[in-house]
């Protein structure tokens, strides 16, 4: 984790400050256009392998209707994103003593009409998820296509985060949030930075 240089667009000081003050942060223009394109192609080429998403313990529920594909070593392009998240984890551990040890991630596809209702990624602090991240990898998006992330920050304020292409949303996993209904196919990588403890 320590040997990877983060992209210049990743302002670590700003990320840490925003997480400290509000519980969430954003990175815009995260990667080069070439990487975005190859990552999008990798995701789209595997869409036939996606399955209905589930909540805790593999239970399929009407709380969400998206489709996912868990990342593995064979998805080489997506693994580069995970390596950068692991490198960011070293900074998060140093600043907040989170004890993050690993990342788990999946591609997510929200087709028109699909959503994810209000929830927390780490209810009761039981699953080790400390930080949640969503990387929007579709190459085009319009504001009236829906699919926004609606999130309540650590101070109780609500925010609407647009799924702009090449944007990463980063937030505490215990924050209440939802994905509003999409009106157009929305592609992303959802990743959780995990620890054995929950201390937020």
Beta-strand ranges (E) seen in 5-123 are: 24-27, 51-52, 67-70, 100-110, 116-119
pTM of the model as a whole: 0.92
Q: What's the confidence (pLDDT) of residue 144?
A: 95
Q: What's the confidence (pLDDT) of residue 65?
A: 84
Q: Domains along the chain?
A: 12-195 (2.60.120.620)
Residues 25 and 18: their CA atoms lie apart, in Å, by: 5
* Alpha-carbon distances of 178 from 32, 99, 182, 195, rounded to whole Å: 28, 26, 12, 23
pLDDT in tens, the chain (200 residues): 456 899 999 999 999 999 999 999 999 999 999 999 999 999 999 999 999 876 555 544 568 889 999 999 999 999 999 999 999 999 999 999 999 999 999 999 999 999 999 999 998 777 899 999 999 999 899 989 999 999 999 999 999 999 999 999 999 999 999 999 999 999 999 999 999 654 44
Half-sphere exposure of 91 (CA within 13 A, CB side): 18
Hey, is 100 helix, strand or coil?
strand
- Do you know the residue count of the chain? 200
* Alpha-carbon distances of 4 from 1, 82, 146, 162, rounded to whole Å: 6, 11, 35, 28
């Amino acid at each position: 984790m320590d040997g990877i240089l983060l992209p210049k667009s990743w302002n670590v000081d700003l990320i840490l400050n925003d997480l400290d003050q509000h519980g969430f942060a954003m990175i815009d223009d995260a990667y080069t256009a070439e990487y975005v394109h190859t990552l999008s192609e990798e995701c789209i080429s595997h869409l036939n392998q996606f399955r209905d998403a589930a909540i805790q313990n593999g239970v399929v529920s009407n709380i969400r209707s998206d489709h996912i594909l868990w990342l593995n070593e064979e998805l080489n392009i997506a693994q580069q994103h995970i390596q950068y998240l692991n490198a960011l984890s070293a900074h998060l551990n140093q600043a907040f003593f989170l004890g993050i040890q690993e990342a788990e991630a999946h591609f997510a596809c929200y087709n028109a009409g699909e959503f994810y209702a209000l929830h927390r990624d780490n209810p009761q602090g039981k699953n080790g998820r400390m930080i949640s991240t969503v990387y929007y990898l579709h190459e085009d998006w319009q504001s009236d296509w829906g699919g926004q992330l609606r999130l309540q920050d650590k101070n109780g304020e609500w925010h609407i985060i647009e799924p702009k292409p090449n944007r990463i949303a980063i937030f505490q996993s215990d924050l209440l949030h939802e994905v509003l209904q999409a009106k157009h196919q929305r592609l992303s990588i959802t990743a959780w930075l995990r620890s054995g403890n929950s201390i937020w």
